[in-house]
Structures are given as C-alpha cells and as structure tokens.
Structure 1
Amino acid sequence: MGARISQNASLEGDGRVRQDPERITDLTKYLAIKSEKSKSLVLKQDEKQEKEAQNVQMLRGMFKKLDPSVMKFVGDQRGDTQLSFKYDAERELLFLKVIKCRDLMVADLRSRSADPYMAYILKLLQYIFQIQMYPDPSGNGQKRTKVIHDTSNPRFDDIFYFGITEVEMAETMLLVQVWDSDTLGNDDFLGEVIIKMNTFNFRDCPIHTAWYTLNSETDLSISGGVEVSLDHQLPQRLFVTIHSATDLVTRDPGRQADPFVKITIPGLAVVHQTKVKKNTLNPVWEETFEFPIALDELAERYLVLHVVDHDRLTSNDSMGQIVIDLKDFDPDEGFHDHIQLSDLKNTDRLRNKWSRRAVSQEFHEALIAHSVSKQPSMLFQQHTGRKVVSVYCRKAGAEGKIRIVDGIPVF
C-alpha cells in the first residue's frame, strides 16, 4: 500500500498526502477525453437510432401504399395473359390474337415450369355467369393454341376467328382458360378470365389490346335465385329479410341440398346466417336480420348474400353469391326482388372481402422482417440529394413510391 502511494504522492509531516500537480493535470486531461468519447458514442448511437427510425418510416410508407387494405386489391393472381381483339363488321368475324402469358402458376409441384396451352370458348350467356347456351350460335366450338413447353412465360402469337354478329356480341362473353398440358394424366387448370364483349367499342377503336389477370375457375353451372327485401328505419337500422330461394343447383346433380344463407356487409363486424333447410333446392326461410347502418352510410356500403350447401361430413359447397349495392337503395320505397345467383368469387368486392385480411397480415409481417434484417440495403444507408424509391407488388396490385430528400422521406 505504501509503495503504491509513493508513486502518486508524498506524505507531509502532519500525515497529510501531498498532491502531485502533474498527475492531477494528466488525470484531468484523461477524464476530459473520456467524457468527449462518451458523448461522441451517445451521439453516434442517437444518430444510428434516428437513421434506422427514418428507414423504417420509409418502409412503412411504401408498405402502406402497397397494403391491400388501402389499395385496390387484385386477389389470388395466377398470372396474366395479353390478348388482342379486332372485329370485321362487314364479314361479321371476331378476330382474337393470343399474344403471350407471364408469371403462370405451376400446377404440378414436380415440375419447375408449366407446358401451357390456352383454350378459347365463345359462349352466349343470357345472364352473367348464369346460363350457357350449347352449342354457341354460329357453331364456333372450342379453339386451342399450340402447346409451348417448359416455360411460365409462353409466347403464342396464335390468331383465331369467330363468326358472330354485332347483336350477338352484345350478350356474349369469351371464356379464356389456361391449362398445363400433361401427357401422362389429366391437364391441370392454371387460370381463366371471362371477357364481356359488350365492353368493346370496335367502331371507335378497331383493335383492343390489353393484359388480363387470370383468376380461379368460375362455376358457370350455378343457377337459381334468392328473394330478398330491405327496409331502413331511422336512425341506423337496416333490416334484411331472406324470403326464399328457387331452383338451386348442387355440385352433385340429382341430389337435394341443405342450403342456408350468410348475410354480410363488408366493413361491419356483424355476420348473420339463416337456418339450414334440409333436403331441398327450393328453401323458404322468411327470416329478418338487422344491421347498424346510418342513412348517410348507405351510399358507401353493399350487401353480400352467399348461399351455401351445408355438409356435416365434408366442407360446405358454395351455391352462389349476390351483391346488392346499397347506394341504389331508396329507403322511402324499400326494396323487394328475386335476384339471380352467380359465382362472384373473382369479383373485386368479394376478393377484397375474403382475402384482404390475410394478405394485409403478410404485408405487416414482411415490414417487420425487412426492418429487422435491414433489407433492402439501399434503404438502410446514408442518402444525399433527391432520390425516388419505387416498389411494385403484383399481389397487392399496387405500386409504392417514396421521394427521399437528403435522407428524409417525403410522402
């Protein structure tokens, strides 16, 4: 102990320790330097945290722009096909050019790509997705492209024509299906799109070329309808009465069904359901349900009726849906009608309702993963000047762009 003291100080005669001025100066300098380093580390840590917060803010902004809960959602995409249409009014011929496909979903997990061909069927339908008239009026029959092997982005450039008048085209839809050709077994369905020919104006624009998103298969065998009535009472009570259904069709022809109806209004947590009616294709319910909707909300709401065949042993089968837009509902007159059922699962409104929650969760989880892993790395770095970061997501059907000015995101 004595030796250690003698290195730093000496003893006075009264036993006090004499201070060493040089040592004190050195210690003062050391403490000052240490304090500066600590402050510098704290500042760097604060800058790092602030930078990471800004980067996460950038990510959050892009994800918000891509999030299907705030963007138009496309749904379960199976790829796209590019088609071109031309109509020869003089010869009454509709020409269709199958150009190409992109990002086709592989149906057979054993293979890395599909062998796609496309089938084109012209069907004259009296109602949308309801009545198929066979054969088609001009006997066009089914047409197929050549098979393109070992690719998920095939190019066909095949041209077909259909004999059809302008009057017939007003009530005609073209069913376009993409299949994966399998030489050892049955062909696998990859996706389809149904195109209403009355959406084209060939007089003003002789050629229409566009990309179409392929969807899951639409059940064109659905038939029957539901009798429904609506009544609104102030301040915010909407009453929906399900009276009956007629001429329902089951997945297994020749057997009866056990149908019930689910009634929902997207955006409301309330979900109603009728009783199950046993062994009938013409059920009668006469049940009334209430939804809390103010009068000024009707213009922004729509009602979804889903007829379901109840099955205790296996999963329930859909028998069709109805969408009633409440913006057309007049509370003073009420509403009472018999409405045809359709397979509407590929419509924007039902895809939004059924799929938005799951896909939104994927986006939120992806945001967390990107933040933790600090990817993409281009975001997690120092930015100078003006930059634009753009991300496109097919699943959300949206594009997110963020401007970065000297490291600060501008939304």
Structure 2
Amino acid sequence: MGCGASVASTKAIQANGRAAEASRAGAGATAVRSLFKQLGVAPTRSTETSVGQIELALRYHDVKQLLLVKIIRARNLAARDAFRNTSDAYVRLALLPGSARAPSGEHRTRIVRSTAHPSFNELFSFSVPNDDLPSTRLVCSVWDYDAVTSDDLIGRLSINLSGVDWTRRDSTWYDLKHPSISSLSGSVHVTLLFSLPSTLHVTLHRVSDVKREDAWEEQRQEPNTISLKCFITGLASVEKSLAVSINEKIDVNFKFSIIDTQEKALAIRVLDSEGKAQSEGIAYISLNDLQPSVEHSGTYSLSPPDVQWMSENQQTALLQESRHAFAAHMLLRQPAWLFERKSLSDAKKLNVVVMKNANTGQTASTEVKA
C-alpha cells in the first residue's frame, strides 16, 4: 500500500512539473506567434519525393535577432509502422554549426499519430545574430515515434540560411531526403573517344571541389578521398570502380564495349570515402553526339543521387504522355466543342459567346468562327 502511495505521489509530482513546463512554453509560444503574425504567411508548393515533404515558413526578426520557424504540416510521409502502414510523426529542428541556440539544444513538435499527412502548425524561435546568418544551416528531421524501440528517422533536410529570401511572405514545401543518402556537389573532368567498331575509351582527368551539400552532423569533415563507379546506362552489368583523391590529377583510363551509342549515357557515380553510400553524387554524359575517332572533353557537374537520366526518346514519350493527360483532364472540365476536329465544310460555322458585364449586369453576344 505504501509502495502504491509512493508511485502515485511520484506521478503527481511529474504531472505538476509537466503542467508548469507547458505553461512556460505556452507563454513563450504566444510571444513568438505574435512576432510571426506580423510577418505574414501564405502557402506555395513544390515537387514531391518518395519519403515525403514538409511545409515550412521562415522569418527573421532584425530587431530581436530571432529566427522564427513555423512547421505547418507534412504530406506523403513514408510509413515506418509495417503493421499499420502509417507513422506517428513529429519534427525536430536544430541549427548548425555551433550550439543550436535553443534552451533545450533543439526544438521538437508534438506527435501526430497514425497519419501520413500530419498537421502541426507550431512556431519556434532561435536566437541568431545577424552576422551569423550567412554561416548557419537549419536542420529539420521528421521522425516516427515508437513507444517500445528507438524512434525511426523518416527523412530530413538542411537549409542554408544564406540562401533564404527573407522578403518572401509565403511558406514553402521542402522535399525530405532519404535518411541514408545525402548529396555530394562537385565536378568531373572527362575525355571520351569512340573507336569503331565497338570501343568507348574514357579518360577521367580530375574530380574537383567535392562537398557534402546536406551534411547533418556538425563535426562531419569534407571528404579527401572518394570512390568512383562508372557505367553505361542500359548496360548495368558492366561497371568500373576505383578510389581517387579530390582535386588531384588522375588520368585514369577505362574501356567499355558498346556497339551503339545512341540513346545511352556514361554515368559517373561519386561515393563518399571507402565507397560508403551516406553521400553520393552522379554525373550523366550523353553519348548521342559522339563521332567516331573524335575526342570529346568536358567538365560535368554532380547531381543529387536520385536524379535519373532519360534519353531523348524517353523525354519525348514523357512529354507526349503529359500532353495526353492534360487533354484528358481538360476534356472533362471544358465544353466538348473546344476539342472537336472541324472539317473544311464546317469552317464557316459560328459559335455564339455570351458575355455579361460585371458592373451593369447587361449581356451581349458575339459570333466567333469555330
């Protein structure tokens, strides 16, 4: 009985502590909300990704030197609960480099349970001096809460505050990156030579200025050595690999056996040191314009690892598919006569368009050739 009373007393103390903390947080949130409303917010959209997106609005208060972040909502989050095919999502915010400049080291939203489209609408603030803005990154991560095991990371993103347009008054949808992959930027300098009947010579001269675009850990160092994997699209079984140093002359030669270079590309995949997949970048070099026995040299920028190369035929097919989809969509929403094919005998047929004056309410008709 005494043990039960002790447990009840402990729970009561914890409940009172949480209530006091919530009260203090509520007072702080009210002040932040007041500042945020002065700066306005309206939504915009961007493209979707496989692990989801999150809608954020960023403001900076010059006088108080506060970074204000509104976490609005997320959508299409990848499921981390295999049984329910959904997630119990929450969001964590931190600033890099240096301390997070928040009382708890980072900010965290409440948990929104059993949905792939959670709505948060929570405001947070960080103390950031004006001079520190250009060198500061906001790191946002979305997690799935698990009461039994450790929480699962759904996706994350890193925003360089130096590139934020503080005059904007709208929110933005940001793509969440897969937790196991981050992007490498940089460039590769390559010379290609196609020799008849079926040999592609590749000379890799140099890999330059490789940097992690979205490193999450504050102390993570930029790579000094990287691994390369070269292959021809459509010939996935043929791959050349090597380890190289960055910003040093390499002049390594590869040979690929390939009969037809049309609708194909040389892909150069750059991996973090020792070939680990935490950071990747990829460059695609189209082989369509290669002339036999003529060298082709160039410097090519690395793209994020989820970028896929498409041949001209694939691009044409995708464009045609988009046009058909648009036509089908419009056909459902617009009068059929807009899409009817007219014969020569119908060339003089007239359509009557009725227009109404918004001010006077009077109507007028106009005949338009079909």
Give the TM-score, by structure 1 length.
Answer: 0.46
Shift of the alpha carbon at 1:161?
Answer: 0.9
Q: Does the 8 A contact of 2:95 with 2:137 survive in 1?
A: yes
Match status 1:352 vs 2:316: no
2:95 aligns to what?
Answer: 122
Matched position secondary structure for 1:390: helix
Distance 2:299 2:139 in 1: 32
Aligned twin of 2:173: 211
Structure-2 residue corresponding to 1:85: 58
Q: Could you tell me whether the CA contact under 8 Å between 2:230 and 2:241 is conserved in 1?
A: no
SS of equivalent to 2:307: helix
Gaps of at least 5 residues in structure 2 are 1-45, 213-219, 287-294, 342-370
Counterparts in 2 of 1:177 and 1:265: CA distance versus 1, 3 Å: farther
**Structure 1 residue 80: Cα displacement:** 2.3
Match of 1:96 in 2: 69
Instruction: Give yes or no for contact 1:388–1:403 (8 Å, CA) kept in 2.
Output: no
- Which structure has the greater CA radius of gyration? 1
What displacement does 1:261 show? Answer: 1.5
Identity fraction in percent: 16
Alignment correspondent of 1:173: 137
- Residue 288 (structure 1) aligned with residue 250 (structure 2): no
Asked which structure has the greater RCO (Cα within 8 Å, sep 6+), the reply is 1
Q: Residue type matched to 2:134 in 1? A: A
Mind listing any 5+ residue stretches in structure 1 that lack a counterpart? 1-72, 125-133, 311-315, 368-378, 380-386, 392-399
- Deviations along 1:189-247, one digit per CA (max 9) or x if unpaired, are 22223323233221x33x34122232312556x99x99954347799x98542568999
Q: What's the TM-score once normalised by structure 2's chain length?
A: 0.50
Note the C-alpha offset of 1:184: 0.7
1:390 aligns with 2:329: yes
In structure 2, the residue matched to 1:162 is 126
Q: Is the 8 A contact 1:106 1:152 kept in 2?
A: yes
How far is 1:172 from its partner? 2.8
Alignment size in residue pairs = 259
Alignment-derived partner of residue 318 in structure 1: 277
Separation of aligned partners in 2, 1:284 and 1:274: 18
Distance 1:155 1:228, change over 3 A: closer
Q: CA deviation at 1:117?
A: 0.7
CA RMSD in angstroms, aligned pairs only: 5.7
**C-alpha distance in structure 1 between counterparts of 2:333 and 2:253, whole Å:** 49
Label 1:211 to 1:198 Cα distance change in 2 as closer, same or farther (>3 A). same
Shift of 1:401: 8.7
Q: Which amino acid aligns with 2:336?
A: V
Q: 1:112 to 1:403 in 2, by over 3 A?
A: same
State the shift of 1:174 in Å.
Answer: 1.9
- 1:156/1:90 Cα in 2 relative to 1: closer, same or farther (>3 Å)? same
Note the C-alpha offset of 1:175. 1.9
- Aligned with 1:198: secondary structure? helix
Mapped contact 2:227–2:242 kept (Cα < 8 A)? yes
Q: 1:305 to 1:157 in 2, by over 3 A?
A: same
